[in-house]
Structure 1
Amino acid sequence: MHDFFHTFFDWSEIAGALPSLLGEGLRNTLLIAVLAIIFGLVCGMLLAVLLLSRRRLVRLPARIYVDVFRGLPAIVTVSLIGLGLPAAGIRPFGRSPLGYAVVAVGLISAAYCAEIFRAGIQAVPAGQMQAGRSLGMSYLKTMRLVIVPQGVRNVLPALTGQFIVDVKESSLVYLLGLSVGQRELYFIAQERQAASYNASALVAAGLCYLVITIPLTYFVNWLDRRMREGRPARAGAEEPLPEPALAEG
């Protein structure tokens, strides 16, 4: 039992790891996750619009993208982007692996965000489109001002959940060999574990991840309850356009 606690809960090892984990690792983990979710939200919305197109040739490329990046293990995507592109001479970020890490996690996030947005937009009642068109708005303007805002509001809990996934998947970028100053939580803990043959630093990193993910998980649950109860998640939320009245025969 002593060996177990010494291996996983060596407080001197945890105390030695915490400054680097909190100062460098936590900052870079959040940086990678935030930039990846922004990348994922922008690309995911564009993909969702393509997936909703009535033209098969427009939908097909988006569907292939979503299926490929949702089907590949995240570690394979990170390796292909972060190691494969520089090896092929494609170096948009130079020698810095941080940019490749953000793109790799962001590409995965975009595939999942696309399906989240698509489901949210399709959940908006069809009458909302009819109402917008009856007021003289074009299809694109109705989508931009009426359908998409309601669809996004429908999926806010799912998008927050995707951010939690991005935080956890940021740990895979240790494969890219981040330099000092760019290391995320897992990379720092793994380095200390390899040097000391003690897993306490990994436990400390796990606690740091929990500090991020547990509050976000409860926030997702709270947001989901508010959505289900029909109360707007923010003050002053606009009401949807009324459906046009049908002319009586």
Structure 2
Amino acid sequence: MGDFLHSFFDIHQILAVLPALLGEGLRNTLIIASLALVLGLAVGLLLAMLLISARWWLRAPARVYVDVFRGLPAIVTVSLIGIGLPSAGVRLFGQSPMGYAILAVGLINAAYIAEIFRSGIQAVPPGQAEAGRSLGMSHLTTLLLVVVPQGIRNVLPALANQFIVAVKESSLVYLLGLAVGERELYFIAQQAQAISYNSSSFVAAGLVYIVFTVPLTHLVNWFDRRLREGRRPTSGGTGPSAAPQPLVPVGATGFEAGA
């Protein structure tokens, strides 16, 4: 029992590695996850638009991308992008592996975000698009100003949860051998364990992940509940007998909305 406690709960090892975890490790983990999420949102939205296209030659490559990146283990994708590309002479980010780490995690998340966006867009009532076209909007304008914003609002909690996933997936970039100053949480813990042969550094890293992600998960769940409560019909009347609300496209002025 004593050996077990020493291997996993050595307070001296935990206190020794904690400053690096809370400083460099947490900072770089959030940088990788945040920039990867931005990339994932941009690529994911584009993929979602292609997935709902009426043209098969637009849907097909988007579907292949989503299926491939969702089907591959994340560690394989990180290795192919972060190790394979530089080895093949494709040096997009110079000597620093940080850019490859962000690219890999971002492209992985894009596949999942694309499906999130697609489900949100397709959940928008068809009447919204019809109302947009009745105002003289083109199909593309209706999609961009009416349907997509409502679809994004439908999936905001899922997108926030995807950030939590990106935070945890950032631990895979230790494979790329990040330089000092670029190390994320897991890489710092791994290096500490390699020096001390004690797994307490992994426990410390796990605690940092938990302290950050668990409250964020509960915040996302709370936001999701509030969003659902806001959609419930009120006694004021939004039921079948209530008068339909006018369509107001995002970005429209009062004149354009028919006010």
The alignment's TM-score, normalised by the length of structure 1, stands at 0.92
Sort the Cα spacing of 1:66 and 1:240 in 2 relative to 1 into closer, same or farther, 3 A: farther
* Pair 1:6-2:6 in alignment: yes
For the aligned residue pairs, the C-alpha RMSD in angstroms reads 1.3
Amino acid at match of 2:247: L
SS of equivalent to 1:12 = helix
* Pair 1:156-2:156 in alignment: yes
Whole-angstrom distance in 2 between the partners of 1:36 and 1:240: 37
* Pair 1:75-2:81 in alignment: no
The alignment's TM-score, normalised by the length of structure 2, stands at 0.89
Aligned 1:83-102 pairs, distance under 5 A: 83-102=83-102
Corresponding position of 1:241: 247
- Partners of 1:128 and 1:240 within 8 A in 2: no
Amino acid at match of 1:32: I
CA offsets per residue over residues 141-168 of structure 1, 9 Å max, x none?
A: 1111111110001001111111111000
* Pair 1:195-2:195 in alignment: yes
Deviation at 1:211, TM superposition (A): 1.8
Whole-angstrom distance in 1 between the partners of 2:70 and 2:161: 16
Whole-angstrom distance in 2 between the partners of 1:14 and 1:119: 43
Amino acid at match of 1:140: L
Aligned 1:221-240 pairs, distance under 5 A: 221-231=221-231
CA offsets per residue over residues 53-86 of structure 1, 9 Å max, x none?
A: 0000010000000000000000000000000000
Whole-angstrom distance in 2 between the partners of 1:115 and 1:26: 29
Whole-angstrom distance in 2 between the partners of 1:121 and 1:68: 22
Deviation at 1:134, TM superposition (A): 0.5
Aligned 1:36-75 pairs, distance under 5 A: 36-75=36-75
Whole-angstrom distance in 1 between the partners of 2:226 and 2:214: 19
Deviation at 1:4, TM superposition (A): 1.3
Corresponding position of 2:241: none
SS of equivalent to 1:229 = helix
Corresponding position of 2:254: none
Corresponding position of 2:252: none
Whole-angstrom distance in 1 between the partners of 2:76 and 2:16: 32
Whole-angstrom distance in 2 between the partners of 1:39 and 1:224: 24
SS of equivalent to 1:211 = helix
Whole-angstrom distance in 2 between the partners of 1:146 and 1:240: 12
The number of equivalent residue pairs is: 236
**Identical pairs, percent:** 71
Corresponding position of 2:178: 178
Whole-angstrom distance in 2 between the partners of 1:192 and 1:3: 18
Amino acid at match of 2:27: R
Corresponding position of 1:131: 131
Deviation at 1:230, TM superposition (A): 2.7
- Partners of 1:44 and 1:117 within 8 A in 2: yes
Deviation at 1:240, TM superposition (A): 7.1
SS of equivalent to 1:95 = coil
- Partners of 1:40 and 1:108 within 8 A in 2: yes
SS of equivalent to 1:96 = coil
- Partners of 1:93 and 1:99 within 8 A in 2: yes
Q: Note the residue ranges of structure 1 that are not aligned, 5 or more in a row.
A: 233-238, 243-249
Corresponding position of 1:213: 213
SS of equivalent to 1:91 = coil
Corresponding position of 1:109: 109
Deviation at 1:103, TM superposition (A): 0.2
Sort the Cα spacing of 1:29 and 1:240 in 2 relative to 1 into closer, same or farther, 3 A: farther
